[in-house]
Amino acid sequence: MSVRTRADLDQLPAYVAGRTVPGSIKLASNEVSAGPLPSVVEAINRAATEVHRYPDIAATKLVDALAARLDVDAARIAVGCGSVALCEQLVQATCTENDEVVFPWRSFEAYPIITQVAGARQVRVPLTEEHALDLDALAAAITPATRMVFVCTPNNPTGTSLRRDELERFLDSVPSDVLVVIDEAYREFVTDPEAPDGVELAQQRENVASLRTFSKAYGLAGLRAGYAVAPPEVAEALRKVYIPFSVNALVQEAAVASLESQQELKARCDEVVAERSRVRGELLGSGYAVPETQANFVWLPLGARTAEFNEHCLDNRVVVRAFEDAGARVTIGTPEENDAFLAAAKSFPAA
Ligand X SMILES: *Cc1c(COP(=O)(O)O)cnc(C)c1O
Query: Where along the sequence are the contacts to ligand X (CB under 6 A)?
Result: 30, 82-84, 108, 152, 156, 183, 185, 213, 215-216, 221, 226
Between CA 295 and CA 304, with CA 298 as vertex, the angle to 5 degrees is: 140
Taking 3-state DSSP, the helix, strand and coil percentages for the chain, each rounded to the nearest 5, stand at 40, 15, 45
CB 211 within 8 A of CB 183: yes
Cβ proximity to ligand X: between 175 and 222 the closer is 222
Cβ proximity to ligand X: between 223 and 257 the closer is 223
Cβ proximity to ligand X: between 32 and 37 the closer is 32
Cβ proximity to ligand X: between 216 and 268 the closer is 216
Cβ proximity to ligand X: between 145 and 221 the closer is 221
Minimum distance from residue 295 beta carbon to ligand X (Å): 8
Minimum distance from residue 198 beta carbon to ligand X (Å): 12
Please give the DSSP secondary-structure letter assigned to residue 161: -
Minimum distance from residue 89 beta carbon to ligand X (Å): 12
Minimum distance from residue 18 beta carbon to ligand X (Å): 10
Residue 108 φ/ψ region, left for φ over 0, alpha for ψ in the -120 to 50 degree band, beta for the rest:
beta
Minimum distance from residue 2 beta carbon to ligand X (Å): 32
DSSP states of 27-39 as a string? -SS---TT-S-HH
Cis peptide before 154 (omega within 30 of 0): yes
Q: How far apart are the first and last CA of the chain?
A: 53
Report the 10 Å Cβ neighbour count for 217: 22
Cβ proximity to ligand X: between 88 and 100 the closer is 88
Minimum distance from residue 85 beta carbon to ligand X (Å): 6
